[in-house]
């Protein structure tokens, strides 16, 4: 089977968000990720109800540096006596909001750019590919630091900056899939029927890339949560909100290491770990769902490759190996011309 | 064919360098329309005329008396003489001098990190591939899952807490006298490495796991090749098959990922340097950012991107040399 056909098959395994959630739920690891993520979202929404103390209350002079106890499940800070358990609960809001918000915004921009580059071709394609190339070599972290401190330290700016520097990975992957999709029968039929280019892009091509977009959203959300924690740790987050990265920075600045207040460091670490872990599980399991041959261990490897945006090749390679097993769907059996295939 | 490919890649790298250079020039000075307003706010009791004179003076001093485009041209001219301008710090040191002063300290961290993660990654990856499916392999898999979800600065804080404060094995913060007292004596070198131990450890962890995964998968792929099966069937010793047949061919993906990672190595140390207060490029950049020292920020960012572009270019070219199967035509 030729490569474009394999790509078409990958595309046909996509579906709506509901099918994805159902498939995830059937996978034990996916269920773990979904439950964890769901719990975190609930905690973030119900934060004012769940938190036993006011996390912003910095006047508890008598309760400074308390060890974890029944009254303060995760102890208090050594500087102002804030309840760490309540801070942890409130911190989930920032992490999830930035992570999911950026992930979704990135998915929109990346998909738009990728579909435009792949389908329109020509000048637009050239321009987008050049921009992607430039984004790859720009020192991202320094630029993000510069922009957040120039444009103001609000979460809107942070999301904006993450989106500006993060869409390139998804766009590359989508583009190579679209290059194949645009030669398929149903797209040609739509073109002949006189559909507009925008209609074809949104109604015919975009659905074929849905699995990549959803998977990418989960994985980038996880990555953005780590990055956000890093920015807050450097003191570049919103100064008025409680976030896990900022908690770590305060712990270091407040002498948690010196006074042996281990609970102050471990608590935000666990928060970051759980949120990143759950979203990463969802992303990895999604890859396994649409490519069942992939073993769990190799999908971690895919995650590392994902950072280099080369993992799709790997997926195709492993799918080409299964060509004898999977039958070609009859309605799309005519092979697209190989010119559309992009290496 | 090959020469034209090389020239084409080099020209493209130069093109990208110019675009990045332009972005680097304009982005850090968003908001710096008039240096006087930013750096010398009007003081009490100062008349408008006096302040106008000060503004005029600072504008000339910082080169803001001409249009932005002329400033850009001036910057390019300076760049040709390898002059990145003057920092706004007191004593107005040259940006290049500041970078040259801090770069070796970052290199101590990043080069040791690269070497350690490479060798450990090769070792662990090969072991995991050789013992595929057994506990060694499972351990690597679980370690990867955990390490990817933990930010490196959290690991750094934990290491600093347990190894630095609790067990007192290594200094939890960098000795502030380390840089000033460095004189190439044996003791000074030893002090640098005891101080660098914790930053290097926290930076290496992710690298070790990453390289192990790449090695593992590439070794497994090569082990299934016919020539390895043949070598085994001939009755060659396991070690010979491993070193002569498997590892040599499995190293190519590793080489590519090294090339891709080197570019980000210097800039990637920003947060870790901040945790341990290590006086390298990362902390220099954060200092420049907090004091709005835009010539210094521009210089550091330009240096980092030039380094990344060069590393990418060398990787691309080396890849063609290392892997004869790669055909030059279809690479973008």
Q: With beta carbons under 8 A apart, name residues in chain B contacting A145.
A: 270, 285-286, 289
Residues 148-187 of A with CB under 8 A from B: 149-151
Q: How many helices (H) and strands (E) does chain B have?
A: 14, 0
Give one DSSP letter per residue of A178-226, joined into a string. HHHHTTSHHHHHHHHTT--HHHIIIIIIGGGGHHHHHHHHHHHHHHHHH
d(CA A182, CA A200): 9
> How near does any CA of chain B get to the CA of A314, in Å?
11
For residue B94, the SS3 value is: strand
Q: Mind listing the pLDDT tens digit for each residue in B65-78? A: 777 788 888 888 88
**B320 against A175, higher pLDDT:** A175
CATH of the domain at B141: 1.10.3720.10
Residues 255-274 of A with CB under 8 A from B: 256-258, 260, 262, 265-266, 268-269, 272-273
Cα dihedral A130, A135, B266, B104 sign: positive
d(CA A187, CA A195): 9
Q: Mind listing the pLDDT tens digit for each residue in B255-300? A: 777 777 776 677 668 888 888 888 888 889 998 888 888 888 888 8
Q: At a CB cut-off of 8 Å and minimum separation 6, what does B208 contact?
A: B116, B117, B120, B121, B124
Q: With beta carbons under 8 A apart, name residues in chain A contacting B25.
A: none
CA nearest B276 in A: which residue?
A: A252
B151 → closest Cβ in A150, A229, A297: A229
Domain limits of chain A? 35-290
Q: At a CB cut-off of 8 Å and minimum separation 6, what does A255 contact?
A: A78, A79, A261
Query: What total of structural domains would you count in chain B?
Result: 1
- Is B4 part of a structural domain of the chain? no
| Selection from A90, A84, A54 nearest residue A254 by Cα | A84
- Is B71 part of a structural domain of the chain? no
> How near does any CA of chain B get to the CA of A164, in Å?
14
| Total CB pairs under 8 A between chain A and B | 138
Does the pLDDT value for residue B332 go beyond 50? no
Residues spanned by the domain of B129: 95-292
Q: Which residues pair with B94 in a beta bridge?
A: B86
pLDDT at B116: 92
The answer to whether the Cβ–Cβ distance between A150 and B30 falls below 8 Å is yes
Per-residue pLDDT of chain A (343 residues), as tens digits, is: 445 555 555 555 555 667 777 877 888 888 888 899 999 999 989 888 887 877 777 776 666 767 777 777 777 777 777 788 888 888 898 889 999 999 999 998 999 999 999 888 888 889 998 888 888 777 788 888 888 888 877 888 888 888 888 888 888 888 888 888 888 888 888 888 888 888 888 888 888 788 788 888 888 888 889 888 988 888 888 888 888 988 888 888 877 777 777 888 888 999 999 999 999 888 888 777 765 544 444 444 454 444 444 444 444 444 444 443 444 444 443 444 333 333 3
For testing the chain B interface, which of A250, A282, A297 should be mutated: the one with the most B CBs within 10 Å? A297
ipTM for this prediction: 0.81
| Selection from B67, B68, B36 nearest residue B53 by Cα | B36
B20 → closest Cβ in A138, A147, A229: A138
pLDDT at B324: 66
pLDDT at B31: 64
pLDDT at A320: 46
- Is B181 part of a structural domain of the chain? yes
For residue B163, the SS3 value is: helix
pLDDT at B207: 85
d(CA A209, CA A103): 16
A139 → closest Cβ in B31, B140, B308: B308
The answer to whether the Cβ–Cβ distance between B145 and A150 falls below 8 Å is no
pLDDT at A40: 92
- Is B221 part of a structural domain of the chain? yes
B270 → closest Cβ in A141, A273, A277: A141
| Selection from A255, A336, A205 nearest residue A79 by Cα | A255
List phi, psi (to 5°) of A76: -130, 165
Give one DSSP letter per residue of B96-127, joined into a string. HHHHHHHHHHHHHHHHHHHHHHHHHHHHHHHH
Q: Mind listing the pLDDT tens digit for each residue in B124-175? A: 988 888 888 888 888 888 888 888 888 888 888 888 888 888 888 888 777 7
Q: Mind listing the pLDDT tens digit for each residue in B40-65? A: 666 767 777 877 787 777 777 777 77
A248 and chain B in contact, CB less than 8 A:
yes
Q: Please name the CATH architecture into which domain A35-290 falls.
A: Orthogonal Bundle (1.10)
d(CA A222, CA A277): 7
A189 and chain B in contact, CB less than 8 A:
no
Q: With beta carbons under 8 A apart, name residues in chain A contacting B258.
A: none
CA nearest B32 in A: which residue?
A: A150
- Is B54 part of a structural domain of the chain? no
Q: Mind listing the pLDDT tens digit for each residue in B200-257? A: 998 888 888 888 888 888 888 888 788 888 888 888 888 888 888 888 778 877 777 7
Tokens of A290: 């649409």
pLDDT at A340: 36
Q: With beta carbons under 8 A apart, name residues in chain A contacting B309.
A: 137
> How near does any CA of chain A get to the CA of B185, in Å?
31
């Amino acid at each position: 089977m030729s490569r474009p056909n394999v790509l078409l098959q990958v595309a046909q395994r996509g579906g709506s968000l509901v099918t994805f959630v159902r498939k995830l739920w059937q996978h034990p690891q996916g269920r773990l990720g979904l439950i964890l993520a769901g719990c975190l979202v609930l905690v973030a929404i119900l934060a004012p109800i769940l938190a036993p103390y006011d996390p912003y209350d910095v006047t508890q002079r008598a309760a400074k540096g308390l060890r974890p106890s029944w009254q303060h499940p995760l102890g208090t800070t050594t500087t102002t006596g804030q309840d760490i358990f309540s801070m942890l609960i409130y911190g989930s809001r920032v992490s999830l909001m930035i992570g999911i918000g950026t992930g979704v915004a990135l998915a929109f921009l990346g998909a738009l750019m990728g579909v435009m580059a792949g389908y329109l071709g020509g000048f637009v394609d050239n321009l987008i590919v050049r921009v992607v190339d430039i984004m790859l070599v720009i020192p991202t972290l320094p630029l993000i630091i510069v922009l957040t401190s120039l444009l103001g330290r609000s979460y809107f700016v942070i999301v904006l900056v993450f989106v500006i520097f993060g869409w390139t990975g998804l766009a590359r992957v989508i583009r190579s899939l679209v290059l194949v999709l645009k030669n398929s029968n149903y797209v040609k039929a739509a073109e002949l029927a006189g559909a507009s280019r925008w209609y074809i892009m949104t109604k015919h091509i975009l659905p074929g890339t849905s699995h990549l977009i959803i998977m990418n959203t989960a994985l980038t959300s996880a990555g953005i949560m780590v990055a956000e924690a890093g920015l807050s740790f450097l003191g570049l987050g919103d100064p008025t909100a409680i976030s896990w990265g900022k908690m770590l920075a305060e712990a270091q600045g407040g002498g948690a290491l010196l006074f042996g207040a281990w609970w102050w460091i471990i608590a935000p670490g666990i928060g970051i770990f759980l949120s990143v872990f759950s979203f990463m599980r969802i992303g990895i399991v999604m890859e396994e769902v649409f490519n069942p041959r992939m073993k769990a261990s190799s999908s971690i490897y895919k995650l590392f490759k994902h950072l280099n945006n080369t993992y799709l090749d790997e997926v195709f390679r492993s799918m080409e190996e299964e060509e004898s097993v999977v039958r070609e769907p009859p309605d799309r059996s005519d092979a697209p011309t190989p010119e559309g295939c992009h290496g | 064919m090959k020469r034209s490919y090389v020239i084409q890649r080099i020209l493209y790298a130069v093109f990208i360098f110019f675009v990045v250079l332009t972005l680097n020039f304009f982005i850090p000075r968003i908001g710096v329309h008039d240096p006087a307003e930013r750096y010398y706010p009007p003081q009490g009791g100062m008349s408008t005329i006096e302040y106008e004179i000060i503004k005029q003076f600072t504008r000339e001093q910082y080169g803001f008396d001409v249009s932005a485009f002329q400033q850009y041209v001036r910057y390019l001219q300076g760049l040709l003489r390898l002059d990145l301008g003057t920092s706004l710090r007191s004593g107005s040191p040259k940006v290049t001098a500041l970078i040259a002063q801090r770069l070796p300290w970052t290199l101590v961290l990043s080069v040791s990190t690269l070497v350690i993660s490479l060798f450990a990654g090769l070792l662990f990856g090969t072991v995991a591939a050789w013992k595929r499916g057994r506990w060694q392999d499972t351990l690597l898999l679980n370690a990867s899952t955990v390490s990817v979800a933990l930010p490196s600065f959290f690991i750094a804080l934990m290491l600093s807490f347990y190894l630095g404060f609790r067990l007192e094995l290594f200094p939890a913060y960098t000795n502030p006298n380390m840089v000033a007292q460095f004189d190439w004596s044996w003791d000074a070198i030893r002090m640098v490495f005891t101080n660098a131990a914790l930053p290097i450890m926290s930076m290496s962890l992710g690298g070790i796991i990453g390289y192990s995964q790449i090695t593992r998968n590439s070794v497994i792929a090569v082990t299934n090749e016919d020539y390895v099966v043949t070598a085994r069937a001939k009755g060659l010793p396991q070690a010979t098959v491993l070193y002569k047949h498997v590892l040599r061919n499995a190293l190519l993906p590793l080489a590519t990922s090294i090339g891709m990672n080197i570019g980000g190595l210097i800039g990637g140390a920003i947060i870790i340097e901040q945790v341990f207060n290590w006086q390298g490029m990362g902390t220099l950049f954060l200092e420049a950012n907090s004091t709005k020292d835009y010539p210094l920020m521009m210089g550091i960012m330009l240096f980092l991107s030039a380094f990344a572009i060069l590393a990418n270019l060398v990787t691309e070219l080396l890849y063609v040399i290392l892997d004869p199967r790669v055909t030059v035509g279809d690479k973008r």
